[in-house]
Amino acid sequence: MKRTDLLIDAIGKIKDEYTVDACLPKKRIGRKSIKWLGLAAAAVICIAVPLPAATALGMDEAYRLLYMMSPKIAQTFKPVEITCESNGIKMTVISQKINEDEGSFYISMQGDMLDETVDLFDSYYINCPYDSVGHVSLSEFDDVTKTAYFVVNVKTMNGEKIPHDKITFGIRELIFGKCDYEGLIEDVDLSDIPKDPPTMQNVNGRGWGGFRVSDEFDYNSLSYLIPADTPLAEPVEGVTVTGVGFVDGALHIQVCYEDILHTDNHGFIEVVDRNGEKVFSEEDSHYMNVSFWDEEGVNSYDEIIIPTDSDDLGDYVLYGEFLTSTGYKSGDWEVTFPVE
C-alpha cells in the first residue's frame, strides 16, 4: 500500500469526537467541487487533538499515523507501558541488555492456555525511533507458571549506538498446542488408484513449487482432484488425505490442511516402500506441488503431482510429515519501554 493510501486509511479510522467539521465555507467552494482527497487533507488540518497529543493519550490510529510520518516523534510521545493484558494473557518487559548497536530485551507472556510450543505466528512488530532490524525468539517456558519468555533482538541499521529512546513491541496473534507427526499413512490403498477420477479447474491458487514449475505457471493449466466427501485418511487432527488418482499421465495426491490461518497446519506427503525409502526422486520425477484455497478461503489443499505411467503401486504406501496446532488466540498485546 502506498504512503498516501496508508495516510487516507488512517484518517478514515480517526474517531469523530477527535475531529471538527472539515467542510470549507459554501460561498467559496461548492459541495460538488470538493474532491474526496481534499476532504482527507482538510481532515488532517482540522484534527482537534494534535497527533502527538493523541499518541500520548493512547489513541492507536493516531500513533500509527504519526509513526508512519515520523518514527522518532511517535516514539517520543508514546506513553511508557511495560505491562499489558489481553484475552487472559499478560505481557511484561522483564529486562534488557544493550551492547553498542545491538539490544536484547526479555519479554514474558503468561496465561493458563499457553504451553512450550507457543508461537508468535509472525504477527509481532518492533517500532523503534530509528532505522533498525530485529527478530524474536522463544527463550524458555515455565510450565508451573505457564509463562513463556521471549528475547527481542534489535540492531541499528547504521551501526550507531542504540540511543536512550523508547521501543514499542507488540503482538497480534499466538498459536500453541503444536504437534509434530511423521509416519506411514496405510489407510490409503495404492493398489487400486482411480484412473479417471473427477477433476476440477479454476482453483483459487495460493502457492506452488517443484522442478516443473516456471515463473509463468498458470494454475488453470492443470486439472485437480475434486476433494472426496469422505476423507481417505486422517493421519493427524487437522490434516486429511482427500484424494488420490491418475490425471493427465500423472499421479495426484491431495491433502487438506484445516483452517491454516488459525492453525498453521502444514507438511508434506510422498510415496515410499515398506522400508521408508522414496519411490519417486524429486529430481528424477520432476514432481510439483500446488496449493489452493477451498471455496470459503479457510482450508488449504496441497496437490502433489508426480509424472509417472506406473499403475502398479500396490507394494508402496504413503508417508507424511506434518506440523499442526490446536490452540489460537488473537489479542492486542503492546508494551513501550525506555532503553536504559
Per-residue pLDDT of 252-282, as tens digits, reads 999 999 999 999 999 999 999 988 999 987 6
Domains and CATH numbers, the chain: 3-77 (no CATH), 83-178+329-338 (2.60.40.1630), 191-315 (no CATH)
Contacts of 66 (CB under 8 A, 6+ apart): 51, 52, 54, 55, 73, 74, 77
Alpha-carbon span 316 to 192, nearest angstrom: 12
| pLDDT tens-digit map of 20-46 | 333 333 333 333 333 333 334 334 433
Cβ burial, residue 122 (10 Å; 0-12/13-18/19+)? exposed
60 pLDDT above the threshold of 80: no
Backbone Cα Rg of the chain: 27
Alpha-carbon span 314 to 171, nearest angstrom: 49
Question: Can you give the pLDDT at residue 312?
Answer: 86
| pLDDT tens-digit map of 168-219 | 999 999 999 999 999 999 999 999 999 999 999 999 999 988 766 666 788 8
Helix (H/G/I), strand (E/B), else coil: 111: coil
- Model confidence, pTM: 0.76
For range 68-95, the mean pLDDT = 87
Helix (H/G/I), strand (E/B), else coil: 130: coil
Nearest alpha-carbon partner for 129 in 78, 170, 82, 75: 75
For range 8-20, the mean pLDDT = 40
Phi, psi of 119 (to 5 degrees): -140, 140
Phi, psi of 209 (to 5 degrees): -170, 165
